Amino acid sequence: MIPVSSHTLSIDGLHKRFGALHVLRGIDMQFEPGSVTAILGHNGSGKTTLIKTILGLVKPDAGRLFFDGQKLSADAAYRARIGYMPQIARFPENLTGTELLAMLKDLRGNPAALDEELLGAFALKNELAKPLRTLSGGTRQKVSAVIAFLFQPSFIILDEPTAGLDPVASRVLKDKIIDEREKGTTFVLTSHLLSEVEELADRIVFLLDGQIRFAGTATDLKATTGHPELERAIAHLMTEAAA
């Protein structure tokens, strides 16, 4: 398959094994600029592995990834254009939030263009002075979200972004996602909250046993499965697989 440069990210024939476990079995995907893709699937379906492969945390056994038309290699420069919010945010225990942000900025050569909107929206100023180990799980999630958006990336990966956030913070984050998409940022997210998926995602990719079982809009999914509610439609895909 020839990479199409209009895609932010294109994945081509991706395979990954962990020992005997064949986690990803031939994934082909394209991500359009300014789109939000939700990757769904039950536990162990390969969602996190797929995300980590995009980030270069996991090395694929076969297949190629192209980011902005460039093949991914050991060169880490492409990650300057990716923002990532992991499922569970854990940081060096003894650093403060301020120091962590300073470190990340420093590591990227202190770029001038920064998006610190979430910092204010989450009212984090006071929390940043404390050592990260003393922060609550929710606060750490907020710090993690700030980091994901901080460097104005063109591609943002959010792994269960609202898990652990209170409803207010959750709303702030979702609004931020919608705003940024309007500006052309590409999103990939995973979530267990289907309402969230329905609200944010342009496209749903359903992974099953390391393969793409379904890819398309929510409307397509409902039409294909014949269920008017997304939750039922997803459940349908899962039971179908089990059968």
Partner 1 sequence: MNATAKILTYELQDVLRSRGVIAYAVFFLLLTEALLQFGSSTASVLLSLMNVVLLLLPLVSLVFGTMYLYNARDFVELLLSQPIRRPHLFGGLYLGLAVPLATGFLAGTCLPFLWHGVEAASHAQTLLVLALTGTALTFIFVALAFLIAVRFEDKARGLGVALVVWLFLAVLYDGLVLLALHMFANYPLETPALVLTLLNPVDLARVLLLLQVDISALMGYTGAVFERFFGSLFGVGVASAALLVWLAVPLFFGLRRFNRKDF
3-state SS assignment for residue 90: coil
Contact of 27 with 50, CB cutoff 8 Å: yes
DSSP-derived letter for residue 124 is -
**Options 31-39, 55-63, 118-126, 228-236: segment touching partner 1 (CB under 8 A):** 55-63
113 binds partner 1 (CB under 8 A): no
The least distance separating partner 1 from the CB of residue 186, rounded to whole angstroms, comes to 16
Rank residues 88 and 178 by Cβ distance to partner 1 and give the closer one. 88
DSSP-derived letter for residue 217 is -
**Options 4-12, 102-110, 169-177, 187-195: segment touching partner 1 (CB under 8 A):** 102-110
The least distance separating partner 1 from the CB of residue 54, rounded to whole angstroms, comes to 10
* CA distances in angstroms from 29 to 25, 39, 47, 55, 235, listed in the order given: 13, 11, 13, 15, 23
Q: Which residues contact 203 (CB under 8 A, 6 or more apart)?
A: 35, 36, 37, 38, 215, 216, 217
20 binds partner 1 (CB under 8 A): no
57 binds partner 1 (CB under 8 A): yes
Site residues, partner 1 (CB under 8 A)? 18, 52, 55-59, 74-80, 82, 84, 86, 88, 90-95, 99, 103-104, 106-108
